[in-house]
Structure 1
Amino acid sequence: MTLIPDALLWAPSAGFAAASGAALFFRARWRAADIRAAEAVRQAAARDEEARHLAQARLPALVYALQNGTPPSHGVLLHPGLANTETAAAYESVLNQVAQLLDDTSRRAEAATRAAVLACVRSVQALVYEQQGGITRLLDEEDDPKVLALVQPIDHAGSQLERRLQILGVIAGMWPGRQREDVPLLDAVRGAMSRIRDYNRVKPPRKSSHFVASRFVEPVVLAVAELLDNAARHSPPSTPVEVKFVAAHHGVSVEIHDAGAGMSFEVRQEAERRLSGQYPVQLTELRTPPSFGLLGVGELGKQYGFRVSLDEDHSVHGGVRAVVFLPHSMLAGPPARTEPASPAPQGADAAPQVDTRVIAAAGEYEIDGDGLAKRSSRRATGSQGAPPARRRLPGAEPPPEDFGNGLAAFVQGTHGLHANDAQQMSPFSPTSEEPPR
C-alpha cells in the first residue's frame, strides 16, 4: 500500500520539472531573440551614423582636397566593424566616383580656360605689336616736342601691357619668343627696366662682362622685369630698387634689392612655391584678383633652366632680395670684334650707322643719373636753329668715352624692334615660338 502514495507523490514532481524545463527553454529562446533584435538595431544605427559621417565629413574633405590641390583622402570609417561589409564597399565606390567626376570636371574647366586665355592673349598681343610699331614710327618721324611728350608715356604703357600679356601667355602655355642675338647682361637688365612703371627708381650696376645667349634673352628680360616690378610695387615710392651682379663658379646671379617692409612667413612660403615651378599652374585656381607675376617667373625658370629665390636676411635695404641665378649654359661669350678694311656700303635693308654724339647733341636722347640714354621730349628741328642744350639731372656723371658704342648698338637694335615684333614674336609666326631644348 505504500507504493501508491509514493507514485502519487512522484507524478506531480515530474510534471513540475517538465513544465519548469519548458519554461526555461522558451525563456532562452526569447532572450536570444531579444539579443538578435538589439544587435540588428545597433547595426542599423551604426550604418545610419556611417552614412551621416560620409555625407558630413568624408565627402566634404575629399572635395576640399581636390579643390585645393592637396592629396585626396577618402577618410576612415567611423565604425571599424563595418570594414568588410557591403556598406563599406558601397561608400568607397561613391567616394571614388565623386573623385573621378571632380577630376574630370576640373580638367575640362582648366582646358577651356586655357583655350580662352590663349585666344585672348594672341588676339590682343597682335594688336599691341601693331600699336607699338605705329608708336615707334611716330616717335622716329615726329619733330613736335609736344607730340613727343604726349606719345612717350603711351609707348611706355604699351611696353608694360606687352609684358603682362607675355607673362599671362607663359602661364597658359605659350612661349615668350626669343631674341636671336646674344645680349650683354647689363643690356638685358636695362631692357627689363624699360618694361616697368617705376623704371626711374631702379639702379642697375655700372657694367658686366657676361652675355646672355640668344634664345634665353627674352625669358631673362621678362623674368627680371616681373621681379623689378614686384620690388617697386611693394616698397615705398621714395626708395630705390638696386640691382647687383654676383659672379659665381657655376654662373652669374642677378640680385634685386628692395626697401620694402618684407614678407610674412606665410606669404614668403607661397611666393617660393610659385617661383619653384614645381607645381602645375591652374588658371581656374588663381586668386581674386588674380596674381600671376611670380607664377610666370616660376614657369620661365622651369622651362629655360634658371633659378629664382627670395630672402630677407641679405637685402642691403632691409627689404626682400630676389636672386635670379643664370647657369653657364644660358651665358655666351662676348662677340668677336672684326674691323673691316673699308666701310661696307649701306643697302636699303642695312641698319644705319648712328653717331651717338650727333644724336645726343640733337636732343633726341638725354643722359640720366645712371648714365642711361633715354628719349628726350624735346627735339631740334631745322627751323629752330641751334639745338637745345641737354638737361643734366642732379648727380649725373658724363658718359664714358666708349659709351657711344653701346648707345649705337642700342639705337640700331631698337630701330625696327616694334615694327618687326609682329613678325618675329607674333603667336601666329611659325618661327617665333620655339620650345626650349
Structure 2
Amino acid sequence: MTAHTRPERPRPQRPAKRQMVLALLITLMVTGLTWTVAVSLADDSVRTPLAWGAGAAALALCVAVPWAVHGRAETRRLTAELAERRHRLDDFADQEVPALVGRLRGGASTDTALGAARPDNNAEAKVLRTLAEEVGRAEAGKAAALAAGAGAAARLQALTIGMLAELRDMEHRHGDEDVLGDLLLLDHRTAQAGRLADSIAVITGARSGRRWSKPIVMESIIRGAMGRIGGYQRVRSHSTVNVAVAGHAAEGVMHALAELLDNAANFSPPTAEVHVYVEEVQTGVVITVEDSGLVMSDVALRRAERAVSAKELDLSTLSGTRLGLAVVGRLARKHGLRISFRPSARGGTGVLMVIPQELITRPRSPEESPSRAAPAKTAPAAAPLPAPTPAPEVERPAPPAAPAADDRPPATREHSPADPTGTDELPQFGESGLPKRRRGRTLANANRQERARQDRAAPAPAHSPAESAARFGAFRQALQGRDRATGDQTELSPREKSHPEEHTP
C-alpha cells in the first residue's frame, strides 16, 4: 500500500502578461508624448537628429520597462512559491513524520501507518515509505530484545526464589554459628540478586515481584527495602507512623525505596549514614531518604528528575549508574508515586517519595485480628539475649509423638524471602470450617512440607526447641553486637533485614 498523495494546493497566479501590456502602453504614451514635445520645440538644425535619437530611446524604454515589470512579477511569484514549499516542508517534518512514527510505535503495521499519511508529492511519499520500514524494523528489534530480557528476568527471579527457599531450609537444619553466619550472608546476597532480577523485569515491562492479598505495614516495607541493599548497616530508620501499604502496591513501593536507598548508600562515603524518615501528611505518606554524600549539581538534579518523571523510558539513556532511577520512574508511574530531589540538610542529597492516599490503609489492631495476636504475645521470645553466652541448661522434655517441622516460637519462624508479613503462614478457614489454600505457594514450599513429613519419622533432635531458640538468639545477639560497636542500637542482621516479616508486629 502506498501513501495517498495530497492534492496540490492552489498557487497564487500573477497576471504577468496583462502587466506587461499595461507597462508597454504607459511607456509608449509617456515616451511618445515626450518625443513629440521635444521634436516640436527643437530648432530646425537639430530636429532630425533629435527625432532619431529620441525615437531610439523611446523604443528602448518600451522594451525594457515591460520586461522589468515581468521580471519583478516573476520574482514575486517564485518567492511566494518558495515560501509555500517551505511551509509544506515544515508541515511534513513537524506533523507527518512524527505522526507516522507515533503510529508505528503504537503497534500499527507499516502499511496501516502509511495509509493514514497524506504526503504532498511522490518524493515525500518515498521518504515516508523508507522511514516507516526503518522504524518498523527498529521497533521489531526492540520488542524482541525486551521480550528476551523479560524471559531472562523471569528465570532469574525463579532461580533466586528457589535459592532463597533452599538457604532458608539450610538455616533451619544447621545450628553451627559459623555455618549459619555464612548462610545468612549468602541469603542476603541472593536477596540483592533478586532485586536486580526484579529491576530487569521492571525495565522490560514484565511482571516484577509478587502481589500481596493483605496490606503490608510501613515498618515491614522499610525493613524489606533495607534487606535488599548491600549497605544496610548504614541505614537508620526513623518511623513512628502506623499505616500500611495496599497489597497490590507494596512490592513496588518496597522495590522503589530499595533503589533509592541503594543509590544513597553507593554515592556517599563508606562510613556515612543514610537516614530514612517517614511522615504521614494529608496527601499520603512521605518517605525521605537523606545521605551525606556529595551535593548534586543543578544539572544532575534536573537529569535525575527527568529520569524518574519521564513518560516513556528511553533505553538509549540507560547506563550502569542510572538504571536504578529508571526503575524508580517506572514504578512511580505504575503506582502513582511522586519522586523529587533536593539538597539535604546533612550535606548530601535528599529524595522525597510521596505515597498517595489511595495506597494507604490502617493496619488492623490485635483485637480485630486474632490471628496476629498470638505471635504478638510471644514476640519477646525472639529478643536478643544480654550477651552472646552459651544456651542455658534446661530440662529436656519427652519428645512429642509427632513434632512439627516448625516447632519454634512464633517470633522466630521464618517465611518466604519476599513475604514481608508474618501472618501468611497462618491458615485461613472458609465458611465450611475447612482450611483454604492460598495462592503464591512455590515448589520450594511443597518440598519443605515433604521434608517436614520425613522429619516426623526421624529421631528427635539432640536439642529441645527451647535450646535451639536460645542458641539462635545468642548467635543473633553476636551479630548485632558487631553493629552496636559503631553506636547503632537498632541494627539488624542481613537475615532480619531481608525478611522483615519476622519483626512485623
Aligned residue in 1 for 2:324: 293
Offset at 1:257?
Answer: 0.4
Provide closer, same or farther for how the CA distance between residues 186 and 398 of structure 1 changes in structure 2, counting only shifts above 3 A.
closer
Pair 351,228 (structure 1): closer, same or farther in 2 beyond 3 Å: farther
The letter for the 1-side match of 2:410 is V
Q: Does 1:354 align with 2:410?
A: yes
Matched, 1:138 2:194: no
Deviation at 1:360, TM superposition (A): 6.5
Alignment-derived partner of residue 304 in structure 1: 335
TM alignment of 1:2-401, pairs within 5 A? 89=121, 92-93=124-125, 95-97=127-129, 99-176=131-208, 177-205=210-238, 207-276=240-309, 278-283=310-315, 285-289=316-320, 291-312=322-343, 315-335=344-364, 336-338=368-370, 353-354=409-410, 361-364=470-473, 393-394=484-485, 395=487, 397=489
Contact 1:360 1:366 in 2 (8 A): no
Task: Tell me by how many angstroms 1:410 deviates.
Answer: 3.2
1:366 and 1:391 in contact (8 A); partners too:
no
Q: Partners of 2:213 and 2:474 in 1: how far apart?
A: 26
Query: In 2, are the aligned partners of 1:168 and 1:292 still within 8 Å (CA)?
Result: no
Distance 2:187 2:225 in 1: 15
Residue 410 of structure 1 corresponds to: 501
Residues 213 and 280 from structure 1, CA distance in 2 versus in 1: closer, same or farther, beyond 3 angstroms?
Answer: same
Contact kept, 8 Å, 1:359 with 1:365, in 2: the verdict is no
Gaps (5+ residues) in structure 1? 1-13, 48-52, 71-87, 377-389, 400-405, 414-437
Distance of 2:403 and 2:284 partners within structure 1: 40
Could you say if the C-alpha distance between residues 206 and 36 of structure 1 is closer, same or farther in structure 2, counting changes exceeding 3 Å?
closer
Conserved? CA contact 2:224–2:500, under 8 Å: no
CA–CA separation in structure 2 for the residues paired with 1:282 and 1:205 = 35
1:157 CA drift (Å): 1.5
> CA 1:28/1:160 → structure 2, altered by over 3 Å: closer, same or farther?
farther
Deviation of residue 112 (structure 1)? 1.7
Query: Which deviations, in whole Å up to 9, do the C-alpha atoms of 1:149-200 show, x marking residues without a partner?
Result: 3333322121111101111211211232223332220121011001001010
- Shift of the 26–92 alpha-carbon distance from structure 1 to 2, 3 Å rule, reads farther
Distance, in Å, in 2 between the alignment partners of 1:319 and 1:398 is 23
Give the match's secondary structure for 1:204.
strand
Cα gap change, 1:21/1:191 in structure 2, threshold over 3 Å: closer, same or farther? same
RMSD (CA atoms): 5.1
Distance 2:408 2:136 in 1: 57
- Aligned-pair distance for 1:202? 0.3
> Within 1, Cα distance between the matches of 2:128 and 2:468?
71
CA distance in 2 between counterparts of 1:207 and 1:132 reads 31
1:200-225 deviation per Cα after TM superposition (whole angstroms, max 9, x unaligned)? 01001254311222222111110100
Distance 1:115 1:398 in 2: 43
Q: Is the 8 A contact 1:178 1:219 kept in 2?
A: no
| Alpha-carbon distance, 1:139 to partner | 1.9
**Alpha-carbon deviation of 1:324?**
1.2
Partner of 1:432: none
Superposed displacement of residue 94, structure 1: 5.3
Question: Greater shift after overlay, 210-219 or 238-247?
Answer: 210-219
> Are the counterparts in 2 of residues 236 and 260 from structure 1 also a CA contact under 8 Å?
yes
AA aligned to 2:324 is G
Identity score, percent: 25
| Partner SS for 1:181 | coil
State whether residues 223 and 500 of structure 2, in contact with CA within 8 Å, keep that contact through their aligned partners in structure 1.
no
Instruction: Summarize the Cα distance change of 1:136–1:286 in structure 2 as closer, same or farther, 3 Å threshold.
Output: farther
Q: How many residues align?
A: 348
Partner of 2:16: none
CA distance in 1, matches of 2:293, 2:232: 16
Within 2, Cα distance between the matches of 1:262 and 1:99?
44
User: What is the rounded CA distance, in whole Å, between the counterparts of 1:119 and 1:330 in structure 2?
Assistant: 29
Q: Decide which moves more: 136-145 or 212-221.
A: 136-145
Shift of 1:286: 3.5
Q: 1:82 maps to which residue?
A: none
What SS does the corresponding residue of 1:296 show, helix, strand or coil? Answer: helix
Classify the secondary structure of the residue corresponding to 1:165.
helix
* Alpha-carbon distance in 2 for matches of 1:124, 1:289: 19
After the TM superposition, which of the residue ranges 91-100 and 293-302 deviates more from structure 2? 91-100
2:267–2:293 CA contact under 8 A, matched in 1? yes
8 Å CA contact 1:309–1:324 kept in 2: the answer is yes
Structure-2 separation of matches of 1:244 and 1:410 = 20
Greater gyration radius: 2
Structure 2: 5+ residue stretches without partners: 1-47, 103-119, 379-401, 413-465, 492-496
Question: 1:182, 1:212 within 8 Å by CA — same for their partners in 2?
Answer: yes
TM-score between both structures, scaled by the size of structure 1 = 0.62
Contact 2:337 2:353 in 1 (8 A): yes
Task: Indicate the SS of the match to 1:271.
Answer: helix
Q: How far apart, in 2, do the equivalents of 1:302 and 1:286 lie?
A: 18
Deviations for 1:305-338, whole angstroms, at most 9, x for unmatched residues? 22121111xx231211111111222122122243
Whole-Å Cα distance in 1 between the matches of residues 501 and 319 of structure 2? 40
Q: CA deviation at 1:31?
A: 12
Aligned-partner Cα distance in 2 for 1:133–1:326? 31
Does the CA-based 8 Å contact 1:110-1:282 persist in structure 2? no
